[in-house]
């Protein structure tokens, strides 16, 4: 850890570097990285936000150093300084620990609270101080955090919080434990008033802090290789009598298991937070859509001569652009978000926040993978239950912040296997169907390839559905239909089944399942995506005219499907 007394007097403001919130040492003393063992000057390390230039190791830093390194110059205004820590249990040696914490950190408690901005985007801010009793949470820490969230709710400010803690403070006993519930309640108070909460987990974030406000952010970021967990590694090994694997409870471990949205290096943190704050600030989309035109069917589209089964094979073609290709082409300022916050991050579902023109949107796509390695990681585009839960989490987040949703569907179906059933595949899809129907924010789904059964429907309960001209949508694959109904497995039987199932884009439009057929031109893919962006913005403009009846209109759309009357 870099101690405050090692830094005080070594750093001065640099005219060039402070523009980016940096710090520069007066002297070029050498310091050694504990990971790669390389030596560099304190000046170079400080310019790099206290990150090793050689290996990227993030040094543990104090709260005020973090504020200087990441926030806009002069923007931090400290608040809630009047609270004083007492010794409620008259715990032996607590007063000595407190004085030691004050001397080592220069702070009166283990959290710093105030207002600040990131690239001009204002927020309420808290930063935990690791040099004050390892950032432990006592009554004053809990009270300051609760008041900060209440203040942010009153001022209509987002909250950005940097966590670093050993957990609840033992010297304050049960009163310390109760702060977990109190602060969690304050987070909920802020959230129910539409407030954004971004948490940044730093090394270490453990114990009661992890089990409360650290993991309650709308968006949870982490610095690389940060230790994050509830019980300590040593405690777990002693209890289970098992050796834990390398990387256990590291940020990368939590990302894989679905509990962290993204790992962001400290050198990119300011930009990332600023982008997220800006996107969440934009809730009135009429300005962004005022020039959007309601576009009719693409004039380029002409009747397709391929047979239904040839469409199926075309939709499955390995060289066909996948969801990521559309996402990368259509959305700028993207932040990909990960995990269902329950079990894992399913790579068959890719989602996040980006800009469609001047309008922030949530994008969610089923990704098949662009090469064999990616296809294996993505289960060849067959989502697991955690994938659908991840998608629903992002949809509910979009609804809270009034962002429209764009879904890209390309799947043979939901993953079929023992582990999927154990984790509730049917329940996950059912939850999506019901929750999507009631979303109060617009949803447009684009079937870009294969739309296979309930696995595709799990992202297709939309206000409007587009079909690429060679995309298909079906209750079952033609091969599965031929096998079950006719006991046949030949290409001819599959082709006949495809014809009988009526699965083409024209069929979907005829049935009222799809509103638009999108012309395919993968040679001019950039131009195709540009036209698609314009179509999306025009339709969002039309959908917003139904506000606040967006969910009712969606239900009416589905209510009509298959409702044949006596005259039909």
Annotated binding site for Zn(2+): 33, 36, 52, 55
The answer to whether 292 and 538 are in contact (CB under 8 A) is yes
Which sign, positive or negative, has the C-alpha torsion 542, 546, 552, 553?
A: negative
Which residues line the annotated binding site? 33, 36, 52, 55
Q: Can you tell me whether residue 153 is helix, strand or coil?
A: helix
Burial class (CB in 10 A: 0-12, 13-18, 19+), 196: buried
The answer to whether 386 and 377 are in contact (CB under 8 A) is no
Q: For 51, list phi and psi in degrees, rounded to 5.
A: -120, 130
Beta-strand ranges (E) seen in 269-330 are none
The answer to whether 200 and 269 are in contact (CB under 8 A) is yes
Burial class (CB in 10 A: 0-12, 13-18, 19+), 351: buried
Which sign, positive or negative, has the C-alpha torsion 520, 521, 526, 527?
A: negative
Burial class (CB in 10 A: 0-12, 13-18, 19+), 373: exposed
The answer to whether 130 and 164 are in contact (CB under 8 A) is yes
β 219-222/197-206 pair status: parallel
Q: Can you tell me whether residue 564 is helix, strand or coil?
A: coil
Give the rounded distance of the alpha carbon of 159 from its chain centre: 16
Q: Can you tell me whether residue 550 is helix, strand or coil?
A: helix
C-alpha to C-alpha distance for 565 and 568, rounded to whole angstroms: 6
């Amino acid at each position: 850890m870099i101690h405050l007394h090692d830094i005080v007097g070594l750093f001065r403001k640099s005219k060039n570097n402070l523009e980016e919130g940096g710090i520069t040492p007066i002297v070029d003393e050498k310091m050694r990285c504990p990971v790669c063992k390389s030596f560099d000057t304190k000046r170079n390390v400080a310019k790099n936000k206290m990150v090793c230039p050689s290996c990227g190791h993030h040094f543990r830093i104090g709260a005020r150093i973090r504020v200087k390194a990441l926030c806009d110059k002069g923007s931090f205004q400290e608040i809630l300084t009047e609270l004083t820590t007492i010794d409620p249990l008259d715990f032996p040696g607590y007063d000595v620990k407190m004085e030691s914490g004050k001397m080592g950190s220069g702070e009166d408690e283990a959290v710093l609270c105030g207002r600040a901005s990131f690239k001009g985007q204002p927020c309420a801010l808290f930063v935990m101080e690791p040099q004050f009793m390892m950032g432990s949470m006592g009554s004053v820490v809990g009270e300051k955090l609760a008041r900060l969230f209440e203040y942010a709710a009153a001022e209509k400010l987002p909250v950005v919080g940097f966590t670093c803690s050993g957990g609840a403070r033992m010297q304050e006993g049960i009163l310390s434990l109760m702060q977990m519930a109190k602060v969690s309640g304050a987070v909920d108070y802020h959230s129910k008033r539409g407030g954004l909460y971004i948490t940044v987990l730093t090394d270490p974030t453990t114990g009661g802090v992890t089990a409360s406000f650290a993991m309650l952010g709308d968006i949870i970021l982490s610095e690389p290789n940060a230790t994050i967990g509830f019980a300590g590694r040593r405690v777990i090994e002693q209890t289970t009598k098992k050796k834990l694997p390398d990387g256990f409870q590291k940020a990368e471990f939590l990302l894989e298991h679905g509990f962290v949205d993204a790992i962001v290096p400290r050198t990119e943190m300011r930009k990332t937070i600023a982008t997220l704050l800006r996107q969440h600030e934009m809730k009135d989309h009429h300005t962004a859509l005022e020039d959007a035109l309601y576009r009719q069917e693409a004039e380029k589209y002409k009747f397709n001569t391929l047979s239904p089964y040839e469409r199926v094979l075309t939709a499955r073609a390995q060289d066909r652009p996948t969801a990521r290709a559309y996402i990368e082409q259509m959305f700028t300022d993207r932040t990909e978000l990960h995990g269902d916050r329950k079990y894992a991050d399913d790579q068959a579902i890719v989602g996040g926040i980006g800009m469609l023109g001047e309008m922030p949107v949530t994008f969610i796509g089923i990704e098949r993978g662009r090469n064999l390695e990616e296809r294996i990681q993505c289960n060849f585009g067959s989502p697991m239950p955690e994938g659908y839960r991840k998608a629903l989490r992002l949809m509910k987040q979009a609804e809270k912040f009034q962002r429209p949703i764009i879904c890209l569907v390309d799947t043979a179906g939901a993953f079929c296997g023992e582990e999927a059933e154990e984790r509730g595949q049917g329940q996950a899809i059912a939850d999506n169907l019901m929750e999507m129907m009631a979303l109060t924010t617009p949803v447009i789904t684009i079937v870009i390839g294969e739309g296979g059964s309930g696995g595709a429907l799990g992202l297709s309960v939309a206000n409007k559905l587009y079909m690429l001209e060679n995309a298909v949508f079906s209750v079952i694959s033609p091969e599965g239909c031929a096998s079950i109904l006719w006991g046949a497995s030949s290409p001819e039987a599959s082709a006949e089944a495809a014809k009988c199932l009526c699965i083409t884009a024209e069929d979907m439009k005829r049935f009222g399942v799809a509103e638009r057929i999108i012309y395919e031109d993968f040679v001019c893919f950039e131009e195709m995506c540009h036209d698609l962006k314009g179509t999306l913005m025009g339709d969002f403009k039309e959908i917003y005219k139904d506000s606040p009846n967006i969910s009712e209109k969606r239900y009416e759309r589905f209510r009509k499907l298959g409702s044949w009357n006596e005259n039909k």
